Chains A and B, each alone.
Chain A
Amino acid sequence: MANIETFGPIDPDGPGLRDHLRAMAHPHRLVMLALALAGLAAIIHYMDWSWLPAYLPKLWNGLLMTLAMLGSSVVVGFVFALPLGLAQVTGPRILRWLATGFCTVIRGTPLLLQLWLFYYGLGSLFAQFPEIRDSWAWAYLRQAWPYGFIALTISFAAYQGEVMRGAFAGVPRGELEAARAFGMSRWLVFRRVWFPRSVFRALPTLTGEIILQLKSTPLVATITVTDLYAIVTRARQETFLTYEPLLLLAAIYICLSGILVIAMRWLENRVPTGR
């Protein structure tokens, strides 16, 4: 039972690079590292990677598409999550019901189903109206990515709205009352105390939500958006290889998740979380 937490935070700043390196230097870890490197070498040597150079530019474009989908849906979804969370905590009864119902419905049904509802349902509906077909918006609406963006954004807004509800409700009443006692208006209380405190409280869970969102992005490939997953699927179909493209894809997503975790940890350390 002695070393359950090999990576346990010893110094208040959390484990630094040197602690991680020291933790890696256990004999069995070195052996496992060697085995992993040998496995990697075998994968590179014995598997067929001759297709990779030809697909690199497409993979890069796919990566950009995945990141664009992730970034835009997280940012816009977060903006929508704020009123959703707030309405569930203090809104008038009708708004509260609407926000709660919206979050329940979105969180209770699969994202894939929502995506297909928007793409096939809305897409075929829009196509029936000549006014829409003739308008400037049709150039965008006939493409797939707006529907992917809408579905991903709504999904993120619903999940994050639930988190924000908890964060808004969790700000200690005393802080709000203290702000009121200073004579701040309700809006000023919201802007200076309630809002920043709840966002800071929600930050630690935000990392997990963004990772979950990253893991949802490949679904847009099913509605012909050419993200990373779609490129890899095409490579699999064209080269008749089963494992190599999938392994590469998994490796890329692991790297992306790792970078996200590190970036968010850096961000969290710069923000006063209170406690």
Chain B
Amino acid sequence: MIAGFDFSLLAYDSPGWGKALLVGALQSVKLAAGGYALGIVIGTVGAACKLYGSSILKDLAEIYTTVIRAVPELVLMLLFYYAGTDLISRLMVSLGYERVDVNGLLAGILVLGAVMGGYATEVLRGAIRAVPHGQIEAARAFGMSPLMVFRRVTLPAMIPHALPGMANLWMIVTKDTALLAVIGFSELTLVTRQAASATRAYFLFFLAAGALYLVLTLTSNIILRLVERRSRRGLAPAAG
């Protein structure tokens, strides 16, 4: 079957599609990194709401995470994409500015971040709860302000508990960038499909894109495992 592949189609220069694929892959990485970062910010706020918020904030955060976990990512992304861009352009018009088209990359990051925030909330909430309460109380007893307690005690102590879940989330977000192809973002999967239908070499391009995704997930897997091992140093190994 290898004999049937025309590898010159993958060449970097113009008749080949190598450059387009790599640009698409870079776009995917940008989307994933941006969405992940935004997801962590939303997740931190959500976890704080769930753990320390008033009862209304708690319920709102609960509704948010329940909806995010129950509705398919594809549907959420469409909803957030249309609602989000609609809202922003209406806001701009009502403020007297020109109607703007939201930058594709930014819209993609916002959409991914809104979805990832729901999962990150759960991961971070669990990690914060895993920090022994006595440590936080001891820090408070030293007279630290809540912010300083978070920065000096809760944050460093929760990281080993949060990392496995957050690593998993990074894997999910890199794969979820592919869903943006359905909305029309030209990231790796959509570029691949365009290349494949233009040349009719479906197997070659989809396998090449799969290899690119695999390289991405496997390298980040190795890095994340190293980071995780480093963060767990000094902790007793898990029982069992």
A229-248: contact bitstring with B at CB < 8 Å (1 yes, 0 no)? Answer: 10000000000001100110
Closest to A247 in B: B79
Stretch at the interface among A49-57, A71-79, A118-126: A118-126
Bound CA–CA A3/B58 (angstroms): 11
Is B71 in contact with A109, judged by CB distance below 8 angstroms? Answer: no
* A interface residue count range (under 10 / 10 to 19 / 20 to 34 / 35 or more): 35 or more
Interface on chain B toward A: helix, strand, loop, or mixed SS? helix
Footprint of A on B, CB under 8 Å? 51, 55-56, 59, 66-67, 69-76, 78-79, 82-83, 86, 171, 175-179, 181-182, 189, 192-193, 196-197, 200, 202-203, 206-207, 209-210, 213-214, 217-218, 240
- Nearest B residue to A118 by beta-carbon distance? B206
Closest chain B CB from A25 CB (angstroms): 13
Q: Which of A108, A216, A246, A257 contacts B70 (CB 8 A)?
A: A257
A–B Cβ pairs within 8 angstroms, 7 of them:
A109-B214, A110-B178, A116-B196, A218-B75, A219-B74, A229-B72, A246-B79
A139 CB–B CB distance under 8 Å: no
Interface contact A253-B71, CB-CB below 8 Å: yes
Cβ A110 vs Cβ B71 within 8 A: no
Collect the chain A residues with CB atoms within 8 Å of residue B200's CB. 124
Indicate if the CB atoms of B75 and A249 lie closer than 8 Å: yes
Quick check: A112 and B179 within 8 Å, CB to CB? yes
Residues of A within 8 A of B181 (CB): 112
Task: Check B203–A110 contact: CB distance below 8 A.
Answer: no
Interface 9-residue window, one of A12-20, A26-34, A91-99, A264-272: A26-34
CB distance from A210 to the nearest CB of B (A): 12
Q: Could you say which of B79, B171, B197, B203 contacts A250, with CB atoms under 8 Å apart?
A: B79
Distance to closest chain B CB from A78 (angstroms): 21
B206 contacts A218, C-beta separation under 8 Å = no
Evaluate contact between B196 and A211: CB separation under 8 angstroms. no
| Apart from A108-B214, A218-B72, A218-B75: 18 A-B pairs, beta carbons within 8 A | A28-B55, A28-B56, A105-B210, A105-B214, A108-B171, A109-B213, A111-B175, A113-B213, A117-B202, A121-B203, A216-B72, A229-B75, A243-B79, A246-B75, A249-B75, A250-B79, A254-B66, A254-B71
Knowing A120-B206, A250-B79 touch, does A113 contact B56 (C-beta < 8 A)? no
Task: Check: A10 CB closer than 8 A to any chain B CB.
Answer: no
List chain A residues, Cβ under 8 A from B209: 113
Q: B229: shortest Cβ distance to chain A, in Å?
A: 19
Residues on A with C-beta less than 8 A from B66 are 254
Q: Would you call B82 and A117 a contact (CB within 8 A)?
A: no
Question: A165 CB to closest chain B CB, in angstroms?
Answer: 15
Whether A215 sits at the interface, judged by CB under 8 Å, is: yes
Known interface pairs A246-B78, A250-B75; A32-B206 also in contact (CB < 8 Å):
no
Residue of B56, B74, B171, B182 contacting most chain A CB atoms (<10 Å): B74
Minimal beta-carbon separation of B97 from chain A (angstroms) = 22
Interface 1/0s, chain A 191-224, versus B by CB < 8 A?
A: 0000000000000000000010011111100100
**B203 proximity list for chain A (CB < 8 A):** 117, 121, 125
Report which of A26, A105, A112, A121 forms a contact with B178, defined as CB distance below 8 A: A112
| Residue of A32, A111, A218 touching B59 (CB-CB under 8 A) | A32
**Contacts A216-B72, A254-B70 known; A110 to B175 CB distance under 8 Å?**
yes
In Å, the complex CA distance between A4 and B214 comes to 40
- How far does the alpha carbon of A35 sit from the alpha carbon of B56 in the complex, in Å? 13
* A28→B209 CA distance, assembly (Å): 50
In-complex Cβ contact of B210 among A32, A113, A218 (8 A): A113
Chain A residues with Cβ below 8 Å from B171 are: 107-108
A110 to B59, CA, bound (A): 33
Rounded to whole Å, the gap between the CB of A151 and the closest CB of chain B is 12
Q: Which residues of B contact A249 (CB under 8 A)?
A: 75
Specify the chain A residue showing the minimal Cβ separation from B203: A121
CA distance A87 to B80 in the complex (A): 42
Taking a contact as CB atoms under 8 Å apart, the answer to whether A116 and B206 are in contact is yes
